[in-house]
Amino acid sequence: MQTCHSDFGLIQSILLKSATEAFQSQEKINEEWKKLNYTEKVAFEASVKEYNQFKAIFKNQDAEIHLLPKSISSLDSIYCRDAALATDFGLILCNMGKEARRSEPHAIEEYCLQNGIQIFGKVEAPGTCEGGDMCWLDEKTLAVGHTYRTNLEGIRQLRGLLEPKGIEVFQVELPHYKGPSDVFHLMSIISPLDKDLALVYSPLMPIYFRNELLKRGFQLVECAEEEFDSMGCNVLALAPRKCLVVEGNPITAQRLIESGCELITYAGNEISQKGCGGPTCLTRPLVREI
Q: Domain for residue 4, yes or no?
A: no
Q: Which residues contact 142 (CB under 8 A, 6 or more apart)?
A: 5, 85, 134, 135, 136, 158, 162, 167, 168, 169, 170
Q: Domain for residue 214, yes or no?
A: yes
Q: Domain for residue 54, yes or no?
A: yes
Q: Which residues contact 233 (CB under 8 A, 6 or more apart)?
A: 188, 189, 190, 191, 199, 200, 201, 223, 227, 252
Q: Domain for residue 3, yes or no?
A: no
pLDDT at 1: 73
pLDDT at 2: 74
pLDDT in tens, 36-80: 999 999 999 999 999 999 999 999 999 999 999 999 999 999 999
Find the domain containing 252 and state its range.
Answer: 10-289
Q: Domain for residue 201, yes or no?
A: yes
Q: Domain for residue 216, yes or no?
A: yes
Q: What's the CA gap between 242 and 74, in Å, rounded?
A: 31
Nearest to 171 by CA among 191, 197, 151: 151
pLDDT in tens, 149-171: 999 999 999 999 999 999 999 99
Q: Domain for residue 71, yes or no?
A: yes
pLDDT in tens, 73-112: 999 999 999 999 999 999 999 999 999 999 999 999 999 9
Q: How many domains does the chain have?
A: 1
Q: Domain for residue 55, yes or no?
A: yes
Whichever domain contains 180, its CATH number is 3.75.10.10
